[in-house]
Amino acid sequence: MRRLLALLSFCTLSHAQNATLLLVNAKIWTANSAQPEAEAVAVSGNRIIAVGSYNAILKLKQDKTAVIDLAGRRVVPGFNDAHVHFYAGGASLAGPQLRYSKSRMEFRDTLAEFARKTPKGQWITGGEWDEENWQPAILPTHELIDGVTKEWPVFINRLDGHESLANIVALKLAGIDRSTKDVPGGVIVRDAHGDPTGVLKDAAQELVNRVIPPPTPDQIRAAIRAAQVYANAQGVTSVQDMSAAPEVFRVYQAMMHDGDLTVRISGHQPLVSWKRLADAGVQADFGSEQIHIGALKGFADGSLGSRTALFFQPYLDAPGTNGIPSAELANPSEMLAHIEAADAAGLQVAVHAIGDKANNTILNFYEQVEKEHGVRDRRFRIEHAQHLLATDIPRFAKLHVIASVQPYHCIDDGRWAEKRIGPERAKTTYAFRSLLDSGATLAFGSDWDVAPMKPILGIYAAVTRRTLDGKHPEGWVPEQKITVEDAMKAYTMGSAYASFDEKVKGSIEPGKLADMVVLTDDIFSIDPAKIADVKVYETIFDGYFVYGPKCGMDASGFLLRSQAPGCDGR
């Protein structure tokens, strides 16, 4: 239905040619193979109506048309982040900022400073700490922070979201002690005496999460508004929210009705909850161009950093384990049954898989479902697709499975991944080039708030593979580098395809939504090593400027979206 509405809208606009905005004197990368480059674009309302030369587009100017001269700047389609945790990311902006703490003491002191500014008794969450930044790189314990957080329950997560640290106050509120048993798909880390250290891995985190008071609708809205401001500043106009809980989705809807959304939302519900969507008759890609649902997300394993990613072979630095299956995969037949039922109901399925065994297992599940239900346009996804068997790489294309990957993780994990799995297994880690060469579809995302929601930085990572520690100037596993155009396509058309949106966004061409980004430099012509320095100059969403110097202004009678959160105070 929303495709029909889009077509009708385009037909109306193309006949009327009532241009409201012209972007001229630009270098436009369209992502449209039939017209790769252009000098100008015309917009009517929230639709692109023409793309072409400066002179041709200028002929569409009317009395109230805003004409913006971009002085030769590069324009690209709005970035579509295929994997985010949008509410959690927005909420994390208000939490303690521990990601870049360089030592255990700096970690403790930063948390202590945050606690002093927090009302006593209020939960402290967020954090995104990373022990790999410390020397030695050992996990924190509750004893490290108890002395500075006596009056606050604390549950702060590692940056990958697969383990968190609780202080003694939080452990007591959750009833966790040495007698508490591990849960399926989770681990309570214990000291030599069997007492909990405060670190809970994967499913064990729910032991504390369940006693944390839920956020109010006003708190959720504030977090989403903060997330939008951040997203628009990075050129992100669409996100695929992997954790759009019902209470969050309700706020998304309220914001849409209030005209308060400046990103498009594709929401994923838990795979185990497939029945509530199926019983309501919802199928994949249900909704509008601003919000749609019908996709599910499951988990096969944990993360490499937490040593819970599931491999066929043991970890080199923890030979006693090869990771753990998720709570869902702990019973493989039950997880397969959920995928089969969801697919039969017409829902889209995406599954988080990091380790090679986890990826192999999910590919096997998908293959079995296709054999049982027949070939159709179901667009199965694997989220992360991080560590693959060489023999599994061509299966993505063969089975039409989308590799939903996050390139920033490559230059982050590349600092220490080989001490976990060794150089041989690393050859098929973040295998972007091999996946593309085999015919697979890549959809790029960030995994925010696990990693920065910065598409430019993700493109830099995919093109250079230069690790954050500067130790791989020619790239970590350089044979897996891809081109700037490959990376741009993965962040635009690839991501649009992953959410059934390729007919309405992902490229700059007539009939598509007017979501575009103006960059400070030409990302296609500069030294790849300098891509990370490129900034977003302006972001256009739905035909309005929502970030940049024209945000909140009107020009030549064209009313800009002054109510956009990112325009506040401009």
Question: Looking at residue 244, what is its pLDDT?
Answer: 87
Tell me the Cα Rg of the chain.
24
Asked whether residue 15 carries a pLDDT value surpassing 50, the answer given is no
Question: Looking at residue 561, what is its pLDDT?
Answer: 54
Structure tokens at 504: 């309405």
Q: pLDDT of 180-191, one tens digit each?
A: 999 998 999 999
Question: Looking at residue 566, what is its pLDDT?
Answer: 66
Question: Looking at residue 100, what is its pLDDT?
Answer: 86
Asked whether residue 179 carries a pLDDT value surpassing 80, the answer given is yes
Query: What one-character DSSP code corresponds to residue 246?
Result: H
Q: pLDDT of 247-270, one tens digit each?
A: 999 999 999 999 999 999 999 999
Q: pLDDT of 505-515, one tens digit each?
A: 999 999 999 99
CA angle (359, 414, 480) in 5-degree steps: 65
Structure tokens at 296: 């599910």
Pick from 96-105, 215-224, 499-508 the range whose average pLDDT is largest: 499-508
Q: Tell me what the mean pLDDT of segment 527-538 comes to.
A: 97
- Tell which residue, 393, 277, 384, 385, has the closest CA to residue 338: 277
Structure tokens at 257: 């009705």
Q: Hey, do 2-78+511-567 and 296-498 end up sharing a CATH topology, with the first three levels equal?
A: no
Rounded to an integer, what distance in angstroms lies between the CA atom of residue 561 and that of residue 513? 16
Question: Looking at residue 92, what is its pLDDT?
Answer: 85
Task: Determine phi and psi for 157, rounding to 5 degrees.
Answer: -95, 150
% of residues, the chain, pLDDT over 90 = 85
Three-state helix/strand/coil letters over 72-101: CCEEEECEEEEEECHHHHHHHCCCCECCCC
- Look-up: residue for tokens 């500014």? 117
Rounded to an integer, what distance in angstroms lies between the CA atom of residue 244 and that of residue 351? 15
Can you count the helices (H) and strands (E) in the chain? 19, 24
CATH for 296-498, among 3.40.47.10, 3.40.640.10, 3.20.20.140, 3.90.220.20? Answer: 3.20.20.140
- Tell which residue, 354, 445, 353, has the closest CA to residue 408: 445
Rounded to an integer, what distance in angstroms lies between the CA atom of residue 405 and that of residue 409? 9
Question: Looking at residue 560, what is its pLDDT?
Answer: 52
How far is the CA of 129 from the CAs of 110, 118, 156, 451, 509, in angstroms? 11, 19, 8, 11, 42
Are the C-beta atoms of 436 and 442 separated by less than 8 Å?
Answer: yes
Residue 13 is inside which H or E element, if any? helix 2-16
The contacts of residue 440 (CB under 8 Å, 6+ apart) are 393, 396, 397, 401, 402, 403
Q: pLDDT of 401-424, one tens digit each?
A: 999 999 999 999 999 999 999 999
Q: pLDDT of 95-139, one tens digit each?
A: 898 988 999 999 999 999 999 998 999 999 988 899 989 999 999
What architecture is domain 2-78+511-567?
Answer: Roll (2.30)
Mean pLDDT of the chain: 92
Which string of b and e fits 247-265 if b means at least 16 CB within 10 Å? ebbebbeebbeeebbbbbb
Question: Looking at residue 128, what is its pLDDT?
Answer: 87
Asked whether residue 14 carries a pLDDT value surpassing 60, the answer given is no
The contacts of residue 33 (CB under 8 Å, 6+ apart) are none
DSSP letters, 259-307, are T---SEEEEEEEGGGHHHHHHTT--TTEE-SSEEEEEEEEES---TTTT
Sign of torsion over alpha carbons 473, 474, 479, 481: positive
Question: Looking at residue 9, what is its pLDDT?
Answer: 38
Question: Looking at residue 264, what is its pLDDT?
Answer: 98
- Under the banding of pLDDT at 50, 70 and 90, the label for residue 554 is low
Are the C-beta atoms of 248 and 220 separated by less than 8 Å?
Answer: yes
Number of alpha carbons in the 13 Å side-chain half-sphere of residue 420 = 23
| CATH code 3.40.190.10 for 88-209 | no
Structure tokens at 467: 């690790």
- Under the banding of pLDDT at 50, 70 and 90, the label for residue 370 is very high
Single pTM value for the model: 0.86
Question: Looking at residue 13, what is its pLDDT?
Answer: 39
Sheet containing 21-24: which strands, arranged edge to edge? Answer: 47-52, 40-44, 21-24, 66-69
Question: Looking at residue 274, what is its pLDDT?
Answer: 97
Rounded to an integer, what distance in angstroms lies between the CA atom of residue 144 and that of residue 166? 11
Asked whether residue 208 carries a pLDDT value surpassing 90, the answer given is yes
Q: Tell me what the mean pLDDT of segment 37-42 comes to.
A: 98
Question: Looking at residue 3, what is its pLDDT?
Answer: 45
The contacts of residue 180 (CB under 8 Å, 6+ apart) are 188, 196, 207
- Under the banding of pLDDT at 50, 70 and 90, the label for residue 564 is low
Asked whether residue 527 carries a pLDDT value surpassing 60, the answer given is yes
Q: Where are the domains of the chain?
A: 2-78+511-567, 88-209, 296-498
* Helix residue ranges per DSSP H, 139-290: 142-146, 168-174, 206-209, 217-233, 246-257, 274-279
